[in-house]
Amino acid sequence: MTDTTAAPTSTEGAEPLLQVRDLTKTFSVRGGSLTALDGVSLDLARGETLGLVGESGCGKSTLARSLLMLERPESGTVRFDGVDPFALSGKELLDFRRRVQMVFQDPFASLNARMSAGDIIAEPWATHSGMYRTRRDRAARVRELLHLVGLRPSDASKYPQEFSGGQRQRIGIARALALGPSVIVCDEPVSALDLSVQAQVLNLLEELQRELGVAYLFISHDLSVVRHVADRVVVMYLGRVVESGEAQQVFDQPQHPYTAALLSAAPSLDHSRRREQIILRGEIPSPIDPPSGCRFRTRCWRATDECATARPPLVQQVDAPTHVAECFHPLTDAAARVDERVASTT
């Protein structure tokens, strides 16, 4: 293991499509100031899926809203295709918004019940009016998009309440694709769906990525889903990135104790992937008054006095330099096996 100050990176040598460095975002709340993002850094490569995981309240949605420019961070930088989107205005800003779209969590709440499926899909073109100028062109493109997401062209005239949950999410995906984006932020896109329908939607997203080359920032609390879809994974805890790397590396050899605990609690039908469950003690600290040093130290069985004094460095594996963990005492395979037994009994 070696220490590094580099950010979690995508494929080495390739310029990332989306680059985030040291992003910080706070909110004023009753009782003080809540730091939702505390120095978050990550990269998203062209055409890849980056899984973003962590417990509720860790900052996943705030990060997504910041990347969509729905929130303005206090510090840090965002570069999209080499350009700072927060410095854009006019046509350039409109072009950025076209290239970054979102699929929402709840397909029942994210579609306007008073609009037909065709009108919902075509709605973005009202703002980006130069794409399809005539009604005939718009209708033809709506039919193409419906076909692309596995629905019938005749479904354009139906209303959201006439569709199932999975079909509604397909309409949401078609709407996100309407502007030809480079990045789609998927905020828990299958959590409201039945398991069988989840698989269908996930397979659709993978097919669209292969065909269109779109990149996904895939936010989820379901590690089994992230394992299935993600090329790389970023793990967040209380506003910080505590681990990131290639999905297989993170899932098979977690370096941060928090990641190991998350994985140990995830159900799996594969007996070879089952881990002895790590039972974390204590409550999640308040983001208004987080612990000093390592945010996870109050629940960590490996914590020492050092963990309370300073923010841990990013430590990378020698044989996997893109796999990093923010920890003074990162796990090794042997340590992880011993620690699981110790943590589950303490």
Q: According to the model, what pLDDT value does residue 274 have? A: 55
Contacts of 207 (CB under 8 A, 6+ apart): none
Domain that holds residue 304: 18-114+182-326
13 domain residue, yes or no: no
- Residues of 107-130 as b/e, b for ≥16 C-beta within 10 angstroms? beebbeeeebbbbbbbebbeeeee
Using pLDDT thresholds of 50, 70 and 90, give the confidence band for residue 317: confident
In a domain, 224, yes or no: yes
In a domain, 54, yes or no: yes
CATH number at residue 52: 3.40.50.300
How many angstroms separate the CA atoms of 203 and 229, rounded?
9
pLDDT tens profile 135-164: 899 999 999 999 999 999 999 999 999 999
Residue 340, domain member (yes or no) = no
What would the two tokens of residue 344 be?
């589950």
Residue 336: per-residue pLDDT? 46
Residue 55 lies in a domain: yes
Is residue 124 one of the residues assigned to a domain?
A: no
Name the domain count of the chain: 1
pLDDT of 337 > 90? The answer is no
Query: What are the pLDDT digits (tens) for 82-112?
Result: 999 999 999 999 999 999 999 998 888 999 9
177 assigned to some structural domain: no
Domain assignment present for residue 166? The answer is no
- pTM here is 0.89
